[in-house]
Structure 1
Amino acid sequence: MRKKLVITEKPSVAKELAKVLGTNQKTKTYFEGDQYVITWAFGHLLSLQLPEDIKKEWQQWRLEDLPIIPKHIGLKPLPKTGGQLKAISHLAHRQDISGAVIATDSGREGEAVARYILEWIKFDKPVERLWISSQTTKAIKDGFANLKPAKQFDNLYASALARGHADWLIGLNVTRALTTKYEDNLSAGRVQTPTLAFVNETAQQISRFKPEKYYTIQLKVGQEQATLQMAKPQGLKDRAQAETLVAKLKQAQGKVGSVKTSQKSQAAPLPYDLTELQQVANAMYGLSAKKTLSLIQSLYEIHKVVSYPRTDSKYLSTDIEGTLKERLSALVKFDPRAKQYLGQGAKVKQPAVFNDRKVTDHYALIPTEEPVRAEKLSTDELRMYRLIVERFMGLFADQYVTAVTKATVQFGDHTFTFKQTKVVQQGWHADSKETPTTSVDWQEGAVVPADFSIKEQLTSAPKPLTEGTLLGKMEHYGLGTPATRAEIIEKLVRSELLERRGHSLAVTPKGQQLLKLVNKTLVSPELTGKWENSLEAIARGQENQKAFITEIEAATKTLVSEIKKSETEYHDFAITNKKCPECDHPLKERNTRDGKVYVCTNCHYRRRKDPKVSNHRCPQCHKKMVIIEGQAGAYFRCLNDGTTEKMLDKKDCKKKISKHEERRLIQKVNQEEEPAESPLAAALRKAMEK
């Protein structure tokens, strides 16, 4: 029987597809059934070749070799996953395999994962594409019933190739140029460098900021207050100026100029796209962009209760309108409003959410038809799910309606505007609070007493960027995609160019140096934003991939030339005053997964900056002891009371006790635990024996 080879992005997805499709025969590298053979990758199994893979002379980093612009950049297997790649190749060339189904993530990178594999194994049979936006049983069955020709996604693959080549050409060449010229590990790229510049620019604005004092004039009428409207809101710079103006106002008679009441209707916010949800999660719960993406990916893949997470759209396509009632039904036990809205016919009261033109690869983040088991979710997963459900419920809710009364009070040419808001209809905004009823009965032409006060205020500095606000700037300038932005921020942190300080982000001294050394065109977001727009246009078939790469190659040559000619000096802030005990050269401080370490700038000497905390407890105070590397070897030391203990060798730690010794020790312990016979008991025993 002829079968189709299904390629998924990870084992967990393959397992789920096998369950739905009844492909029950399991092996180490695939599942097999009557119709399908389902196998998997581990993310990318192949990557673009490095310069040394193309030409041996490029293995050594030399400034004179740059820019490196090969005619062809091939693929190479990743070393740790070569076995799975061989297994897929073997399956693909089986006689009973009639074609392949790409079932990787429905996006640009997911397309690249599968296409790289098919290209490497020289697959020459028909290829189809599974394109779904949720992992529910219904979505999977519908998707396999409506497989699409892979050719429909050739432009998406062309965009993925163009993105990979652009990052290779610019990132690799600029990084090598900076590293070799300034003799330090300096990483730059077409997206990460302008992202770093955003954080630095805000930090500079804060450092340059000097608070200024200014004054405002308040008018009180009953229990209400209003501020004097001025052409320049912060125009009163000294108190004497404010007092002079108040004196002038008191000379005029205050009258109510106009009283107008109008109703304002506000529809519920649209469902989330990934970036907005990451911003909200960061602001509300302090979660990093990467953590938020991981949580939603879990809700999508493992729990199957939300749609595809890596979306850049807040709209829904018209073809899923018929599924909303079923999605609402799945929420009945989770949210009591679902039953209410079902009783009203599950009518969507925000029809603007359906917009095919504003849906790209995937529609907005919404719940699936799968009922959630809240007890199975972690605390953070539940938080993310509630946020997504809240936006979804807003689609069926009435508008939030308020009646806003505005009363203007004139003192000569000067105006005070009083504003009162009354909630007419709560609608979706259930947590809104109504403004307390005022005692003022506003009547046009009524005289108002001159009850003025002067308020002293200070201008406020810009706030440092958080991950949420940085994501917003990246989205505004078109830097990266919803799927890549979180990883870009993490890469900047790993490269020691960016660091987290509480909820805020800060550029390290190394990062500040890099921004001075790197090309100004690469620092600016405009050029990178233009390139990202081109990649999207390639995915839509509106631009040519080869023309884009030609532009990138020209930019690479310019960027490398500018670095070579630059006369900017570099100071390595990571170099300390400490000396290497082996060669007397300065030690450099580095962040690693194991904490901060000192490495020699000349030889291979390396040691931890701070002692490593162990799980071994101090025998005196029972606090954890640290491991100290001494001349005679490592030993434990308590930082609290100074107690030291010898560390056992690995051989001693692994040495097992013999069965004979184990029995002897147990017998001895049992004997020691038996209570001794008291003198009274001994006397009684002897008396009874007589």
Structure 2
Amino acid sequence: MGKALFIAEKPSVAQEFAKALKVNTTRKDGFLESDTAIVTWCVGHLVTMSYPEVYDEKYKKWSLATLPFLPEKFLYEVIPQVEKQFKIVSSLLNRPDVDTIYVCTDSGREGEYIYRLVEQQAKVDIQKKKRKRVWIDSQTEEEILRGIETAKDLSEYDNLGDAAYLRAKEDYLMGINFSRLLSLKYGDVISNYLNTRYTVISVGRVMTCVLGMIVRREREIRQFVKTPFYRVVSTLDCQGSTLEGEFRAVEGSAWYQSPKLYKENGFKEKNDAEELIRVLSQAQPFQAVVEKIERKNENKNPPLLFNLAELQNECSRLFKISPDETLKIVQELYEKKLVTYPRTDARVLSTAVAKEIHKNLKGLCGFEPTGSFAAEVLEQGNYKKIASTRYVNDKQITDHYAIIPTGQGLGALRSVSARSAKVYELIARRFLSIFYPAAVYKKVSLVTMIGKERFFSACRVLEKEGYLKVINGKKSGEEQTDQHLLTRLQNLKKGSVLLVKGLEIKEGETAPPKRYNSGSMILAMENAGQLIEDEELREQIKGSGIGTSATRAEILKKLISNQYIALNKKTQILTPTLLGEMIFDVVSVSIRSLLNPELTASWEKGLTYVAEGTITSDEYMTKLNHFVRTRTDAVLHMNQHIALREYFDASAQYYPAGGKQGTVKKTAVTRKKK
């Protein structure tokens, strides 16, 4: 009887598989072996794509004459630093006594790619081996055993494997061709401007698009002109409590659709606001009459669960942690069995998981910060109907469900950093919150008339805390108006009269767009370049974004290491560098489409279609080769050197003199002259 070979992505994961199998293993060099099983591991990628000079020595020297480089057959090679482990894994794959291979690399496109490259390079005779794919959502013993028991034939993941190969080929061809092309064509323009020896222009399918988003946002801020406006606000006496009202020039107002208004609630000139106050102050008696009153309850439901992008955004906002660091933390929590698979785009649970969710809850009873909430959920049985809520939806899950606590391995929290423990608590609170009712607010909206003009007021008070007590860990910190005022407003009716204590002008001004921070950039990438603040709307329009949950943090990290953008670690704000703006201008005048988020997202969508079997690899490659060839040919026949100098001058004024890598100066936003 042959042996089963289990191949994990990392040594630590291999150890968990060996433990779960409960076999007596002997540790050997690079693997563990028992009478029936062998467990080994990669160390991330063992095989990579070969550089162009491996195809032909002529490609070693960068030359426009050798572009575009579009090989018919791609070459691969073992990464020298991990050659020893590759040889170990390769020999195990080809051992005659191994008849079944269990692929246990991370359950996703990249994990698929890691294994298939090794199998390809090891020249495994796949006709003589059974190959099974283990697909798991956490590293608990129960989930590992379930994954092994339900492992499907590897061939069922061939489309996913094809998409993985294509993603690598796409990044390779665009990176190699466009980086060489633009470096040779315009690198000297940048070097001469910055007075440096040489400049390599690094271009990437996703990286360049993200750079474009950051540069464009910075330029929007520079070009923004602040517009001042003046609001008229009333102060009303409501049975001893003070109520504010805001003037709006709605239909019926003497100022309705007046060109003197910036918007319906603000004047362009202060003297016009003063004129309104003068007219209203002449009214006798000086009072406000209730024209309309509306009372209603507002429900605020618990948010959906975390996927990686949402978690990265929240960690950036709350803890000022970069997306890259968040990914490292949640990956560590995953490997310690504390949370489920982190590289997920889903924000819901599967029906299968929902049926067993009491196990996660029971385990969380032992987590001190949230244990009482988990116990309460179990005691009241709130979890029993979770499958019928919006938090469970099989159609919204592709590879993995949302990130949730497993309820296991709590002892491992003692070995993680305080910051990692905070992230775990954040995940636990978000998870537990979905078993609690909505927060309920009482809201009263009021329209009062002073003379012939209308003023609008609103008051909102939290009546039932619901899930907020779980997710905040304390009493809700949301803005709440005085409960006494709400009580008094409840007594009002149409025709009620309120004393006007005064009218005043409040000056405001339009605000420029916000710079991206590391978290909001991840969300913008997930939503194909759109920064959508509203969580519900994000879910409605979500499709294939820029990059994937597994790669977005790495893209930002690369842009920072290339010194194309700068990250303020305290605020997590992202700004371009002068070099980054110059790279943007080079791409803009040569291959502008690389800066287009929608186009970049469409490439990612194409990979999804390959993984789903909707289009073939050949169809995808034909389009990819055509894109690279036509864009390369266009650049070879253009000359933008003179135009670029003007663009560089326009950007340089915003940076310290001569500062190649300096962060952007604080942009002065112009105020519109009156």
Q: Same fold (TM over 0.5)?
A: yes
Q: How much is the aligned-residue C-alpha RMSD, in angstroms? A: 2.1
Match of 2:481 in 1: 435
Structure 2: how far apart are the matches of 1:233 and 1:328?
51
Identify which of structures 1 and 2 has the higher relative contact order when contacts are C-alpha pairs closer than 8 Å and 6+ apart: 2
Match of 2:102 in 1: 101
Match of 2:532 in 1: none
Determine whether 1:254 maps to 2:273.
no
Displacement of 1:555 in angstroms is: 0.9
Match of 2:564 in 1: 497
CA change 1:274–1:147 in 2 (3 A) is: same
Structure 1: how far apart are the matches of 2:409 and 2:114?
31
Match of 1:238 in 2: 269
Match of 1:299 in 2: 333
Partner of 1:537, secondary structure, is: helix
Displacement of 1:443 in angstroms is: 2.1
Query: Residue 207 of structure 1: which of 211, 217, 222 is its match?
Result: 222
CA change 1:37–1:11 in 2 (3 A) is: same
Q: Which amino acid aligns with 2:270?
A: R
Partner of 2:356, secondary structure, is: helix
Higher gyration radius (CA): 1
Q: Which amino acid aligns with 2:464?
A: Q
CA change 1:83–1:395 in 2 (3 A) is: same
What pairs up with 1:57-206 in 2 under 5 angstroms?
57-123=58-124, 124=126, 125-183=129-187, 184-206=199-221
Tell whether the 8 Å contact from 1:31 to 1:38 is kept in structure 2 after alignment.
yes
Displacement of 1:230 in angstroms is: 4.2
Tell whether the 8 Å contact from 2:578 to 2:659 is kept in structure 1 after alignment.
no
Structure 2: how far apart are the matches of 1:209 and 1:233?
22
Query: Residue 579 of structure 2: which of 507, 510, 519 is its match?
Result: 510
Tell whether the 8 Å contact from 2:247 to 2:265 is kept in structure 1 after alignment.
no
Structure 2: how far apart are the matches of 1:135 and 1:38?
15
Query: Residue 446 of structure 1: which of 475, 496, 521 is its match?
Result: 496
Tell whether the 8 Å contact from 1:256 to 1:447 is kept in structure 2 after alignment.
yes
Displacement of 1:211 in angstroms is: 2.4
Query: TM-score, normalised to structure 1's length?
Result: 0.81
What pairs up with 1:244-393 in 2 under 5 angstroms?
244-250=275-281, 254-301=288-335, 303-334=336-367, 335=370, 336-347=372-383, 351-373=389-411, 374-393=413-432
CA change 1:371–1:92 in 2 (3 A) is: closer
CA change 1:414–1:562 in 2 (3 A) is: farther
Displacement of 1:538 in angstroms is: 1.3
Tell whether the 8 Å contact from 1:256 to 1:407 is kept in structure 2 after alignment.
yes
Tell whether the 8 Å contact from 2:104 to 2:135 is kept in structure 1 after alignment.
yes
Unaligned runs of at least 5 residues, structure 1: 574-587, 592-690
Displacement of 1:376 in angstroms is: 2.6
Match of 1:606 in 2: none
Determine whether 1:538 maps to 2:601.
no
Match of 2:520 in 1: 469
Tell whether the 8 Å contact from 1:401 to 1:425 is kept in structure 2 after alignment.
yes
CA change 1:284–1:83 in 2 (3 A) is: same
Structure 2: how far apart are the matches of 1:119 and 1:216?
69
Tell whether the 8 Å contact from 1:315 to 1:363 is kept in structure 2 after alignment.
yes
Structure 2: how far apart are the matches of 1:247 and 1:267?
45
Displacement of 1:58 in angstroms is: 0.9
Q: Which amino acid aligns with 1:15?
A: Q
Unaligned runs of at least 5 residues, structure 2: 188-198, 251-262, 470-474, 529-544, 649-657, 662-674
Post-superposition CA distance 1:590-619 (Å, at most 9, x none): 98xxxxxxxxxxxxxxxxxxxxxxxxxxxx
More divergent stretch after superposition (555-564 vs 514-523) = 555-564
Post-superposition CA distance 1:12-49 (Å, at most 9, x none): 11112112213421111111123321111111111112
Displacement of 1:323 in angstroms is: 1.8
Query: TM-score, normalised to structure 2's length?
Result: 0.82
CA change 1:339–1:447 in 2 (3 A) is: same
CA change 1:405–1:182 in 2 (3 A) is: same
Match of 1:14 in 2: 14
Displacement of 1:212 in angstroms is: 2.5
Structure 1: how far apart are the matches of 2:494 and 2:385?
38
Structure 1: how far apart are the matches of 2:493 and 2:431?
43
Structure 2: how far apart are the matches of 1:230 and 1:103?
65
More divergent stretch after superposition (1-10 vs 382-391) = 1-10
Partner of 1:112, secondary structure, is: helix
Count of matched residue pairs: 577
Q: Which amino acid aligns with 1:491?
A: K
Tell whether the 8 Å contact from 1:47 to 1:75 is kept in structure 2 after alignment.
yes
